[in-house]
Chain A
Amino acid sequence: MSTSDAALAIPSPSRSFWNGDYGLRAWLTTRDHKRIAILYALGITGFFFLGGAAATLIRVNLIEPTGSLLTAETYNKAFTFHGVVMVWFFLIPSIPATLGNFLLPLMIGARDVAFPRLNLASWYLYICGGLFAVASLLAGGVDTGWTFYTPFSTMFSNSNVFLVVIGVFVTGFASILTGLNFIVTIHTLRMPRMTWYRLPLFVWTMYAVSLVMVLATPVLAMTLALIALERLAHLGIFDPALGGDPLLFQHLFWFYSHPAVYIMILPAMGVVSEIIPCFVRRRIFGYRFMTYSILAITVIGFMVWGHHMFVAGQSMYASLVFSIMSFIVAVPSAIKVFNWTATLRKGAITFEAPMLYALGFIGLFMLGGLTGLMLAAPALDIPLTDTYFVVAHFHYVMVGGSVMAYLGGIHYWWPKITGKLYSEGWARAAAILMFFGFNLTFFPQYILGYEGMPRRYHSYLPDFQVLNVLSSAGASILALAYLLPVAYLLWSLRAGAAAGNNPWNARGLEWQTTSPPPKENFLSEPIVREAYAYDEPAP
């Protein structure tokens, strides 16, 4: 912290949003978006480590070609639980429901979201859905994979499909309502002079992601309801033995689940777009193009779902249309990568922990995106799909991309949220460890997939062992890297130095209020300027 920043730092107000109404009851009935964000963060962290525990079992099992740790049945349940929990109870709500909830009103100078009660209701739906997912595990688990492909999920699996489908169905409504809330908030509660093209890119991505949540999630809800109906009432929707069509399920499922990938990655792009200008001390390169590419990804992202079905029995001509759309959706992502890189030019760059996470994000997301391009070509997708190449690809995007950005965001706004500084050394060490652990875990999986190892295999040919052992070794480093932040962030709550209002000398409105912010967000009206005005002094 430079001396000029120290001068800005004033003692934390005694009446921050943390203080005032203490007690469980006050927290569980709060309508303050900041407290709801904290509630989400607790839930999400819990589910992240539950899903991580399942991943640990998977990686330990795969050290031996015979899969000696788990039985095939338990292994199948472990990867299903890992997928369901990580996708629906961690990744999808991660950035929007925690950082989004906390920051969106602050960034636009609002007192709260448009519908605070609905915001709390969303959290209860999320937790309720999560309890169903946990109940399905306690009742013996589910063995369908997170994709619930029919007719296996409806007529063949003897596991607790119904419970977990209800869980995802319910938590889907948390997504829909959060999206609705954010859209109305951004339209109606921006303070005067906060025009659309002054919005931080994080707010743009929250807007885009809300559109996807509102438009795509109902299709998922409908699809899951049809699974439940076919399972319970033997209604012939998907099982051909009952007169249904199994490919109909895949179309409906991916109509949601491909846009869901953008639910996971768009907010990550938003976070990184906040962090990079701050530590480069420059305006973001090509702000307008960044907003256009966010919107392009949102719209085109709805037209590419069939690239999950190139070998599924879909018509060849449909596959070709989905292929070209998938190439086109990669263009705006490429633009964003180039713009972040160009932002570095002529900057005065420092490398605090959030910046390390952001740079790690660019590299890993780029690798995930480029390999996604290979999968967009049907001639390559035929040999590569349903192998570890695909597993590596989406982990680079969702874990290398989204999780790195989420943690970058947590580190960037931690001083704002808690009013405390964490240990910078430990935070940098964790970010670097995570980057290397991640690559060691998932890069070998690209090679495994190229060699032809199918995904979701409890046991495998001995030829694949070396790379699997490397991957498992990487996973143990990665696990350690994920545990480190829990330790030093919790420690900072107890022993961290006071952060001051604006420890990074950043420019967003959220940095103009106290750390932590008061219940009403701003005690005096913040000054609105263009986003990322790092070429001007802080107000």
Chain B
Amino acid sequence: MSGLGRLLTDASSLAPQVDGLFWFMTALCGAVALGVICAIVYYSIHYRSGSNANRSGTLANTLPVELTWTLIPSVLFVGVFIWSLFLFVKMHTPPADAQTIYIVAKQWMWKAQHAGGQREINTLHVPLGEPIRLTMTSEDVIHSFFVPAFRVKQDVLPGRYTQLWFMATKLGSYPLFCAEYCGLDHSKMGGEIVVMRPAQFALWLEGHLGAGTLAAQGAALFRAHGCSGCHGANASIHAPDLDGLYGRSVQLAGGSQVIADDRYIRDSILLPDKERVAGYEPLMPSFSGQLSEEDLLALLAYLKSTSIATSEPPAIGSESTHEHE
């Protein structure tokens, strides 16, 4: 595919639905605009000064007509809002079985890490027909991940994770743009998304193996930075056990509870005192400045890999509080 086709084709599962809403609204707005313009032109000609049009019988009570053109647009707007609402929620909610690929943006490049440890820059290979979730962060300023052919866009912020998902439905390569102004070479911060058949994608993954899977890289970092010294199985220091932490509910020292998600784990590494687990002393140092965004994502992948997918275990916070009493 070449030319504008790479941009305008609807290459993701939701793109045709987005286009449906777009063309419906274009038609609706076009009809309203055309109606008003026709009225203006007609009145301008018919009621031009000096014409012999009948000017008697002007409206004494304008209320009914005012209410008509207040209520009709209101009803139409609410209808369009509801349509957009359902589509927006779909666009916002990745399917549960989506595979995660991690994206780190920086001035002015896109870095991607696959679960198998494969890394690429300014290019992202994805399989056809499988839902992909991108978990994204930035090393510096705000960027925005924009693939016109998929009709997806999401700002990528420093200091937090944002998500975007898509399921590619057409083979080919599609332009990737940065859509949030990010400084000098903003317009050069692009790349391409390459959609491959799943079998070819598997071959591509094998041909680009890095230093172990992302989780294995994270496990190595877990030891190298001394995390295992406190959080490991044989640690003498009293620190929460992190095996199976991801996705569980954590009892915090302040009494509140929080789900151990991407954000919580990231914040706990960089700002350990912010949401301390109940029953533990504030002993952990901050690792802010010692870990790159890519390291953090590898650690996250490692902690996720230890998560037990079976029945809901008790919240670690309440458990340790119990031990302490």
A residues sitting closer than 8 Å to B (CB atoms) are 67, 72-73, 76, 143, 145, 147, 149, 151-152, 156-157, 239-241, 245-247, 280-282, 285-286, 289, 311-313, 316, 319-320, 323-324, 327-328, 330-331, 334-335, 337-339, 341-342, 344-351, 359, 362-363, 366-367, 370-371, 373-374, 377-380, 382-383, 385-387, 450-452, 454-461, 463
Contacts and interface: CB of A to CB of B under 8 A. Distances in A.
B197 interface: no
A328 B33 contact: no
A319 B40 CA distance: 36
B58 to A, nearest CB: 5
B4 A382 contact: no
A331 B188 contact: no
Given A151-B158, A327-B80, A346-B47, A383 B62 contact: no
Contacts of B66: 286, 289, 335, 339
Contacts of B149: 452
A247 B157 CA distance: 9
A456 B186 contact: yes
A377 B43 contact: no
Nearest to A290: B66
Interface of B: 3-4, 6-8, 17-18, 21-22, 25-26, 29, 32-33, 36-37, 39-40, 43-44, 47-50, 53, 55-59, 62, 65-66, 69-70, 73-74, 77-78, 80-81, 83-85, 87-89, 91-92, 107, 140-142, 144, 146, 148-149, 151-155, 157-160, 162, 175, 177-188
A371 B26 CA distance: 8
A344 B47 CA distance: 8
B157 A313 contact: yes
A201 to B, nearest CB: 15
Contact of A380 (B18, B48, B65, B144): B18
A455 B177 CA distance: 11
Overall SS of chain A's interface: helix
A335 B62 CA distance: 12
Contacts of A247: 157
Contact of A289 (B39, B62, B77): B62
A383 B69 contact: no
B33 A378 contact: no
A344 B40 contact: yes
A373 B144 contact: no
A386 to B, nearest CB: 4
B141 to A, nearest CB: 4
Given A72-B184, A341-B39, 19 more contacts: A73-B184, A76-B186, A245-B159, A313-B157, A316-B92, A323-B85, A330-B73, A346-B57, A347-B47, A349-B43, A359-B40, A362-B40, A370-B33, A379-B17, A383-B18, A383-B153, A452-B146, A458-B187, A459-B188
Nearest to A348: B49
Contacts of A367: 33
Contacts of B140: 151, 156
10 tightest Cβ-Cβ pairs between the two chains A and B: A240-B159, A452-B148, A377-B84, A344-B43, A370-B29, A457-B187, A379-B87, A327-B77, A386-B179, A152-B141
B40 A380 contact: no
A335 B44 contact: no
Contacts of A366: 32-33, 36
B84 A452 contact: no
A73 B146 CA distance: 23
Given A334-B69, A347-B43, A383-B152, A463 B4 contact: yes
Given A151-B141, A330-B73, A359-B44, A311 B154 contact: yes
A456 B73 CA distance: 34
Given A319-B88, A373-B77, A377-B25, A337 B36 contact: yes
B188 to A, nearest CB: 7
A379 B157 contact: no
Contacts of B107: 156
B49 A349 contact: yes
Contact of A240 (B48, B85, B160, B181): B160
A386 B153 contact: yes
A457 B40 contact: no
A161 to B, nearest CB: 12
B109 to A, nearest CB: 15
A311 B144 contact: yes
B146 A454 contact: yes
A362 to B, nearest CB: 7
Contact of A386 (B55, B141, B144, B184): B144
Nearest to B2: A463
B175 A451 contact: no
A31 to B, nearest CB: 42
B154 A344 contact: no
Nearest to A324: B81
Given A72-B184, A324-B81, A457-B186, A374 B22 contact: yes
Contacts of B4: 451, 463
Given A240-B159, A367-B33, A452 B49 contact: no
B155 A331 contact: no
A373 B47 contact: no
Contacts of A246: 142, 157-159
B217 to A, nearest CB: 24
Contact of A335 (B69, B87, B183): B69
Contacts of A239: 158
20 contacts: A72-B187, A76-B186, A152-B181, A152-B182, A285-B62, A313-B157, A316-B88, A316-B92, A341-B36, A345-B58, A346-B57, A347-B55, A366-B32, A377-B25, A379-B18, A380-B18, A382-B151, A383-B152, A452-B7, A452-B175
A320 B177 CA distance: 26
Contacts of B55: 346-348
A35 B77 CA distance: 45
A464 to B, nearest CB: 9
A387 B7 contact: no
B89 to A, nearest CB: 7
A345 B153 contact: no
Contacts of A245: 159
A461 B159 CA distance: 31
A309 B39 CA distance: 36
**Residue of A143, A320, A347, A383 with highest tally of chain B CB at under 10 A:** A383
A378 B22 CA distance: 11
Contacts of B17: 379
A8 B155 CA distance: 63
A342 B42 CA distance: 11
B183 A311 contact: no
Given A156-B183, A463-B7, A386 B146 contact: yes
A245 B159 CA distance: 8
Nearest to A451: B7
A176 B172 CA distance: 55
A459 B69 CA distance: 44
**Residue of B37, B49, B57, B187 with highest tally of chain A CB at under 10 A:** B187
Given A331-B70, A349-B47, A451-B148, A241 B158 contact: yes
A323 B184 CA distance: 32
B43 A341 contact: yes
A341 B42 CA distance: 10
A378 B91 CA distance: 10
